[in-house]
Structure 1
Amino acid sequence: MSVLEENLDSPLKKRPPSWSDIWLKNTKPLKHVVFAMQLQSLASKDPKSQTLIAKFANIDRTLLLPDELLLKILSRLPISQRNPNSLVCKRWLNLQGRLVRSLKILDWDFLESGRLITRFPNLTNVDLLNGCLFSPRNSWILLTHRMVKMQTSSDFCSNWKLLEANLLPVEVVDRGLQALANGCPNLRRLVVINASELGLLTVAEECLTLQELELHKCNDNVLRGIAACENLQILKLVGNVDGLYSSLVSDIGLTILAQGCKRLVKLELSGCEGSFDGIKAIGQCCLMLEELTISDHRMDDGWLAALSFCENLKTLKLLSCKRIDLSPGPDEYLGFCLALERLHLQKCQLRSKKSVRALFRVCEAVREVVVQDCWGFDNDMFSYASVCRRVKFLSLEGCSLLTTEGLEAVILSWHELENLIVVSCKNIKESDISPALATLFSILKELRWRPDAKSLLASTLVGTGMGKRGGKFFKRT
């Protein structure tokens, strides 16, 4: 045997495979294409082959695609086409279910039976609020609230705790939470009502990536389960809602929460009954807290001074609060939030001048102030905002008691003001605009002026250069 033959026979000296060899190894799609071409050539020669072509046309070409590739294709289609696509066949139905990430549950049996997990195995956002309610199906009375929609019987007026009487038992809710936690370990957001400590503990142990939780009808005991969610970043607690249900969240629960959920970034307390100690515990333990929303609070007097312990707080929102703080204490105990940038007041009742003064004192570092539909917000109330010297953005909407004189007295002292929005403030009259205020308007970066339907500011201030700050004009030479 020659040396050349010896080298050819040796398995270690084989020629490396070429691209054509690798390409031709997978000949299944090629055979499919060749077969289709043969059918077309037969059709041009023999009309009897039309029957064979018709049968071939009914073959599902997508069967040649693996699930992973078909999922990528379906995921790039518009969301509006998901429902029609799921009707093509069972395979597409299952694949579309794997693409769904967010779902609102209306039928609790769908969750407990396990069909939810089978149908949608990759859920990350689940809302169980409406699913936790049972209502008479033969009733034509529909009760709507900003949280829920439900059918109710005709005697609902005699029951002032309507939602509480139509909630699923705590044991049933906990069973559903256990089934959800076992089937969706990658859950990131959850909305639930009437759960217990055990049900939330199951979610905390199984769903380690849970980042956002909205809990209705919450109490201090339930917060023990929430404290086990170490990676929680966004939390909304609803304790008491007039006419729907009642529940108690006090300083005990807020302290438990603060010691467990130390990574909170956003916190909303609605209908909670805390005080100085509870807010202080949150400020000292939740060092990453940047946004605090307090809605319809039932807190004890003196809680406002605890905000100074939230050292990294950037946004403070007060929504639908019947009072702020009737006894905030002396100024030396109030302190203020150094990092605070935004203060939003919406649908609040500003009855006490002492509490409004204390609020602006705590928030004197803000750069953005928004006041919307707040009862009692007049010139005296707004004058306390003069301590906020760094304001760049001011929005006033529905402040019917505020006048042009009161507005001017404050914003002329804000030398950094750049954006001003005045909408639906009927006592702010254009006829009362002074030259100093008109000059301020001319250097603003943004001005939206609609205090009433008859506003003609654009025409009355023609020639003042309003909105031309920083503008550059060019012309051809």
Structure 2
Amino acid sequence: MDIAGGCATLQELELHRCTDLALRPVSAFAHLQILRIVAASSPLYGTSEDGGVTDIGLTILAHGCKRLVKLELVGCEGSYDGIAAVGRCCAMLEELTIAEHRMDGGWLAALAFCGNLKTLRLQGCARIDDDPCQLRDRHALHALFLVCEGARELLVQNCWGLEDDMFALAGLCRRVKLLSLEGCSLLTTRGVESVVTSWNDLQSLQVVACNKIKDEEMTGALSELFSNLKELKWRPDNKSLLAASLVGTGMGKKGRVFFKRILPGHQRVKGKVLNYPAGVAA
């Protein structure tokens, strides 16, 4: 409360070893927009005698910080009720990160109350939601994408169990502008293409360390998509010959780009072969 009194215009706050009780004075920060909470009972700090962050703390937070735009919850407990309170009260919330959570089954469905959510990040979660979401279960993943069908950014990192048929469910999120795939070892070129070519709003694509995605499997539809992107980072493996950036080669303009039988150290774009220093594409 003392800090809030002296920092009337504070917009960003990070709290560690947080408990329900510690969240009571947070409502005094009237202009708070960005909040990161690391619970006292998170894996970072182990079990705390004072408890952690539960539905009680999330509800206090929701009613006190109605101007939140970005919220990160690390190691928090709670359930459907706590997340629903955040969604109902924080109408301006655009970005939500859930990391290493300890929430009860069924919490995921409460995301439907986050009507303006553009970005959802799930990090370091050994499980997502026992009821109904495990990423290895098709029906559960379908439920996740239904709840998040309005998301603008989708980032999938080190999700080694995600294969083509499962990733195809992401096609439900038709408003995605940014897709980042990193460390998804089972995804293939065909699986990525089946989704991204159906997204009319896609502007940025990042594919890193996904070893089953190959340059030689590039199709006309995918290369045409590349030519219309504003940002492209394409490093699926260390053998890829497609440069990480296509600035100056026509990317961002309508037209078709072809990649076929390119010799090492060269890049073919719209019928022309461009040279670049060894190692640039890798």
- Same topology, TM > 0.5: yes
Distance 1:384 1:408, change over 3 A: same
Q: Per-residue displacement from partner, 1:361-394 (whole Å, max 9, x unpaired)? A: 1221233322222232221221111112233332
**What residue identity is the alignment partner of 1:216?**
H
Q: Higher relative contact order at CA 8 Å, sep ≥6: structure 1 or structure 2? A: 2
Q: Tell whether 2:102 aligns with 1:298.
A: yes
**1:211 — aligned with what?**
11
**Structure 1 position 231, deviation (Å):** 3.3
Amino acid at match of 2:43: D
CA shift, 1:457, in A, is: 3.7
* Amino acid paired to 1:212: E
Distance in 2, matches of 1:393 and 1:266, equals 17
Describe the shift of the 1:314–1:445 C-alpha distance in structure 2 as closer, same or farther (beyond 3 A).
closer
AA of the residue aligned to 2:253: R
Residue segments in structure 2 that go unaligned for 5+ positions in a row: 244-248, 256-282
1:265 to 57, 69, 81: 69
Q: Which residue of 1 aligns with 2:280?
A: none
User: Any conservation in 2 of the 1:265–1:288 contact (CA below 8 Å)?
Assistant: yes
1:470 CA drift (Å)? 4.6
Query: What percentage of aligned pairs have identical amino acids?
Result: 60
CA 1:434–1:234: 2 relative to 1, 3 Å: closer
Q: 3-state SS of the aligned residue for 1:402?
A: coil
The residue aligned with 1:449 is 234
Matches within 5 A, 1:133-172: none
1:255-404, aligned counterparts within 5 Å? 255-328=59-132, 350-404=135-189
Letter paired with 1:399: C
Instruction: Pick one of 38, 49, 53 that aligns with 1:238.
Output: 38
User: 1:203/1:434 Cα in 2 relative to 1: closer, same or farther (>3 Å)?
Assistant: closer
TM-score (norm 2): 0.76
The answer for the alignment partner of 2:23 in structure 1 is: 223
RMSD: 2.6
Q: TM-score, normalising length from structure 1?
A: 0.47
Decide whether the 8 Å contact of 1:227 with 1:260 is kept in 2. yes
Q: What's the CA shift for 1:249?
A: 0.9
Q: Cα–Cα, structure 1 residues 426 and 248, in superposed 2: closer, same or farther, change >3 Å?
A: same
Single out whichever of 261-270 and 442-451 deviates more from structure 2: 442-451
Distance 1:468 1:251 in 2: 46
AA of the residue aligned to 1:256 = I
The 1:257/1:452 distance shift into structure 2, 3 A limit, reads same
Larger Cα-atom Rg: 1
Q: Where does residue 259 of structure 2 map in the other structure?
A: none
Q: Which runs of 5+ in 1 are unaligned?
A: 1-200, 330-348, 459-464, 472-477
User: What whole-Å deviation, never above 9, does each CA across 1:204-249 have from its counterpart, x for those lacking one?
Assistant: 3454334332111111122223233333332211113326333421
Which deviations, in whole Å up to 9, do the C-alpha atoms of 1:430-450 show, x marking residues without a partner?
233334434444444443322
Q: Return the offset for 1:468.
A: 6.5
Task: Report the alpha carbon displacement of residue 327 of structure 1 after superposing the two structures with TM.
Answer: 1.5
Which secondary structure does the structure 2 equivalent of 1:217 belong to? strand
Q: Which residue of 1 aligns with 2:265?
A: none
> What's the CA shift for 1:317?
1.9
Structure 1 Cα separation of the partners of residues 70 and 149 of structure 2 = 21
- Structure with the higher fraction of residues in strand conformation: 2
Question: Residue 245 of structure 1 aligns to which amino acid in structure 2?
Answer: G
Secondary structure in 2 matching 1:283: helix
Q: Is the 8 A contact 1:212 1:235 kept in 2?
A: yes
User: Quick check: which one's helix share is greater?
Assistant: 1
Distance 2:32 2:231 in 1: 38
Query: 2:226 & 2:12 partners in 1: Cα distance?
Result: 42
